Amino acid sequence: MGDWKTITVPVLSSDSKNIPPYTSERKRSPTSMSSQVLHLSLPSSKSMHSFFSAFCTEENIEQSISYIDRELTTLGFPSIYAESKGKELNLVSMVNCMNELLVLQHKNLRAQEEIEIQHLKLGSDMDHLQNCYAKLKEQLELSKREIVGLQERDRQLQSKNRNLHQLLKNEKDEVQKLQNVISSRATQYNHDMKRKEREYNKLKERLHQLVMNKKDKKLAMEVLNYVGRADGKRGAWRTDKTEARNEEEMYKVLLSDYEQRQKQLLLENTELKKVLQQMKKDIISLLPPQKQKPKERPEDGLVLSDQEEDIGELNKENMWELSCETVREQLTNSIRKQWRMLKNHVEKLDNQVSRGHSGTLNEKDVISREDHELETEKLELEIQQCKEMIRTQQQLLQQQLTCDDDTTLLLQDCYLLEERERLQEEWRLFREQKKNFEKERKSFTEAAIRLGLERKAFEEDRGAWLKHQFLSMTADCKSENLTTPSAFLRSSDPDIRLVRSVSRQRRPPSVLSPTVSPEPCQISQYIAQNSVASEKPAADNMPNLWVESDDKEETEECTKSWEDSGLGTLCRNLHMEQLP
Amino acid sequence: ASCVQHRLVVRDASSLQILQLYTCLDQIQHLEWSSDSLFILCAMYKRGIVQVWSLEQPDWRCKIDEGSAGLVASCWSPDGRHILNTTEFHLRITVWSLCTKSVSYIKYPKACQQGVAFTKDGRYMAVAERRDCKDFISIFVCRNWQLLRHFDTETQDLFGIEWAPNGCVLAAWDTCLEYKVLLYSLDGRLLSSYRAYQWPLGIKSIAWSPSSQFLAIGSFDEKVRILNHVTWRKITELEHPATITSKKTIVYKEVEKSPTVGTERLSFPPTRALASSLFSTQSKYDISQVPVSLQYIKPVADRANPKVGVGMLAFSADNCFLATKNDNIPNAVWIWDIRKLKLAVVLEQLCTIQCFQWDPCQPRLAVCTGSSRVYLWSPAGCVVVQVPGEGDFQIMSLSWHSSGDSMLLLSKDNFCVCYLEREEV
Is the pLDDT at A305 greater than 60, yes or no?
A: no
Q: Where are the domains of chain B?
A: 1-107, 110-239, 246-259+270-424
Out of A121-135, A514-528, B108-122, B220-234, pick the least confident.
Answer: A514-528
CB atoms within 10 A of CB A294: 13
Say if CB A78 and CB A36 are below 8 A apart.
Answer: no
What is the architecture of the domain spanning B1-107?
A: 7 Propeller (2.130)
Q: In angstroms, what CA-CA distances link A494 with A50, A502, B201?
A: 210, 12, 98
What is the architecture of the domain spanning B246-259+270-424?
A: Beta Barrel (2.40)
Out of A545-559, B75-89, B342-356, B382-396, pick the least confident.
Answer: A545-559
Give the model's pLDDT for residue B94: 86
Beta strands in A162-227 (DSSP E): 221-223
Q: Please compute the mean of the pLDDT values over residues A82-98 and round it to a whole number.
A: 71
Mean of pLDDT over chain B:
82
Give the model's pLDDT for residue A118: 94
Give the model's pLDDT for residue A133: 95
Of A174-183, A211-220, B281-290, which has the strongest mean pLDDT?
A174-183
User: Could you tell me if B95 lies within 8 Å of chain A, comparing CB atoms?
Assistant: no
With contacts defined as CB-CB under 8 Å, which chain B residues touch A229? 79, 81, 99
d(CA B194, CA B171): 11
Please tell me the number of Cα atoms within 13 Å of A220 on its side-chain side: 20
Give the model's pLDDT for residue A273: 86
- In eight-state DSSP terms, residue B88 is G
Give the model's pLDDT for residue A484: 44
Task: Provide the shortest C-alpha distance from residue A268 to chain B (in Å).
Answer: 13
Give the model's pLDDT for residue A232: 54
Please tell me the number of Cα atoms within 13 Å of B63 on its side-chain side: 16
Q: In angstroms, what CA-CA distances link B205 with A35, B175, B225, B298?
A: 110, 11, 11, 20
User: Could you tell me if B356 lies within 8 Å of chain A, comparing CB atoms?
Assistant: no
A218:B168 CB<8 A: no
- Quickly state the pLDDT bin for B230 (edges 50, 70, 90): confident
User: Could you tell me if B101 lies within 8 Å of chain A, comparing CB atoms?
Assistant: yes
Out of A220-229, A409-418, B98-107, pick the least confident.
Answer: A220-229
Q: Please compute the mean of the pLDDT values over residues A110-121 and round it to a whole number.
A: 94
Give the model's pLDDT for residue A427: 92
Is the pLDDT at A117 greater than 90, yes or no?
A: yes
**Which superfamily, per CATH, for B110-239?**
YVTN repeat-like/Quinoprotein amine dehydrogenase (2.130.10.10)
Task: Provide the shortest C-alpha distance from residue A188 to chain B (in Å).
Answer: 13
Q: Please compute the mean of the pLDDT values over residues A19-41 and round it to a whole number.
A: 45
Amino acid at A361: L
With contacts defined as CB-CB under 8 Å, which chain B residues touch A216? 65, 67-68
Of A131-145, B270-284, B391-405, which has the strongest mean pLDDT?
A131-145
Answer yes or no: same fold for B1-107 and B110-239. Answer: yes
Q: Please compute the mean of the pLDDT values over residues A508-537 and round it to a whole number.
A: 44
Q: Which residue has the higher pLDDT, A162 or A90?
A: A162
B103:A221 CB<8 A: yes
Phi, psi torsion values for B100, nearest 5 degrees: -115, 0
Long-range contacts of range A348-354, CB-CB < 8 Å, 24 or more positions apart?
A: A348/A296
ipTM: 0.74
CB atoms within 10 A of CB A253: 19
Out of A487-491, A559-563, B36-40, B199-203, pick the least confident.
Answer: A487-491
Task: Provide the shortest C-alpha distance from residue B400 to chain A (in Å).
Answer: 25
Give the model's pLDDT for residue A432: 93
Give the model's pLDDT for residue B413: 77
Give the model's pLDDT for residue B259: 58
Give tens-digit pLDDT for B145-190: 888 889 988 888 888 899 999 888 999 998 888 889 999 988 888 9
- Quickly state the pLDDT bin for A138 (edges 50, 70, 90): very high
Q: Which residue has the higher pLDDT, A512 or A245?
A: A245
Give the model's pLDDT for residue A234: 59
Give the residue from A221, A241, A247, A249 with the most B CB atoms within 10 Å of its CB, the best one to mutate.
A221
Give the model's pLDDT for residue A28: 46
CB-nearest partner of A194 from B124, B133, B168: B133
Give tens-digit pLDDT for A329-351: 787 788 888 888 888 888 888 88
Respond yes or no on whether the N-terminal peptide bond of residue A485 is cis (omega within 30° of 0). no
Give the model's pLDDT for residue B163: 92
B79:A221 CB<8 A: no
Is the pLDDT at A151 greater than 90, yes or no?
A: yes
As beta bridge partners, residue B385 has: B374
Mean of pLDDT over chain A:
71
User: Could you tell me if B91 lies within 8 Å of chain A, comparing CB atoms?
Assistant: yes
d(CA A205, CA A39): 138
